[in-house]
Amino acid sequence: MSFTTEIKNEICSNDYSKLENICLLSGFIRNNAIIEDNEIIILSENLKVVRKVFSLFKELFDVSPSYSQIKGNNLSKKSYYNIYIDDKLNLILSSLMYYDEEDNVLKVPSEYFLDGDDLKRAYLRGAFLAKGSINDPKKSRYHLEFLVDSSSEAGLIKDLLNYFDLHAKTISRDKGYMTYVKEAEKIGDFLRLVSANNAILYYEDIRIYRDHKNMTNRLNNMEQANVDKSINASREQLEDINLIKEKIGLDAVDDRIKVAIEYREKYPEVSLSELSEIISLELDKKITKSGLSHRFRKIREIADKLRKND
């Protein structure tokens, strides 16, 4: 069972108020219904969604839809379900803000229809049951989307998501319009909005694990980068030291420089910070990392002058 199916099943298992159910059914019908020949036709592959929609029509409008099952072919073993409603169409479609008072199709529901946070959330539930999906965070990148037929509906869903500060965007696709959310934290917020509490626990566990893993990888990469940087710096310092010894000898440099040269040759792989601690302990005389760095800059200056004179 996919993560999206689990979320939809959980949404269908919850109880909502009458007004919330009307808005949920509106969000679903406006995104997953064909109206023709005085009949509403709904197609879904999710049996729990079918049962939820069936029960809402009966509860809200006292109608009993009929439905049929379509078996998948050899290539696709999925079964699909058609729901048919041919009674009280005008009442249903006007109540769900599909029609206006003159039986014209509304591009989006009237503003008062979704007046309230609970009703906005309910509409998003219905739209998600019809056209929504969320990638399993364990298997792929974070992604929430609604793939709908009209730009007006995509814009409405985007506005509702952004009302709750989810940073949604809409783009045109070959078949319709996609409203989507990419941020992991915002997708978790969406699951809270639609009351998919079990899905939240699963999602957040995976998200926290992935964030921790990514942070660990970044720290390891930073540590490796620092090691590489120290090795390269030490190699360059040893090259400078060898050039000085070859060209003028160590007697030509002062005692402070000689100490830095002696300990770098003795401990070629340690970092500058570690080398300053070693020198301080062995000579019982404090030398800071910056002080040691200054000595190696002097060594570099001497070496550079020798290179120019060649």
Residue with tokens 């989006």: 108
Chain Cα centroid distance, residue 112: 32
pLDDT value at position 167? 94
Residue 6 has pLDDT above 90, yes or no: yes
Rounded CA separation 53/25 (Å): 7
User: What strands lie across the sheet with 39-44, from one edge to the other?
Assistant: 34-36, 39-44, 80-85, 66-70
Domain segments of the chain: what residues? 3-195, 223-309
The pLDDT tens digits for 39-98 are 888 888 888 998 999 899 999 999 988 878 877 665 556 778 888 888 888 888 889 888
Residue 211 has pLDDT above 60, yes or no: yes
Grade residue 157 by pLDDT with cuts at 50, 70 and 90.
Answer: very high
Rounded CA separation 299/160 (Å): 65
Buried b (16+ CB within 10 A) or exposed e, 7-39: bbbbbbeeebeeebbbbbbbbbbbbbbeeeeee
φ, ψ of residue 135 to 5 degrees: the values are: -65, 145
pLDDT value at position 119? 95
Rounded CA separation 37/15 (Å): 33
* Single pTM value for the model: 0.68
The answer to whether 134 touches 7, Cβ cutoff 8 Å, is yes
pLDDT value at position 76? 57
Give burial (CB, 10 Å; 0-12/13-18/19+) of 307. Answer: exposed
Rounded CA separation 130/44 (Å): 8
What is the average pLDDT score of the chain? 86
Segment 125-144 shows an average pLDDT of 90
Q: Give percent above pLDDT 90 in the chain.
A: 35
pLDDT value at position 66? 84
Residue with tokens 């739209």: 127
The type of residue at 300 is R
What DSSP element (H or E) covers 51?
A: helix 47-61
Residue 133 has pLDDT above 90, yes or no: yes
Rounded CA separation 70/61 (Å): 26
Yes or no: is domain 3-195 CATH 3.40.50.1820? no
pLDDT value at position 33? 86
The answer to whether 199 touches 10, Cβ cutoff 8 Å, is yes
**C-alpha distances out from residue 49 to 42, 43, 255, 258, Å:** 11, 10, 84, 81
Q: Which residues, in sequence order, are bridge partners of residue 39?
A: 36
Segment 147-165 shows an average pLDDT of 94
Other residues' Cβ atoms within 10 Å of the Cβ of residue 5: 14
211 vs 263, higher pLDDT: 263
Residues 6+ apart with CB under 8 A from 247: 306
CA-nearest of 114, 108, 99 to 22 is 114
Rounded CA separation 87/41 (Å): 12
51-65, 147-161, 203-217, 256-270: which range is least confident on average? Answer: 203-217
Query: What's the alpha-carbon Rg for the chain, to the nearest Å?
Result: 34
The two structure tokens encoding residue 42: 């709904």
pLDDT value at position 56? 93
Length of the chain: 310
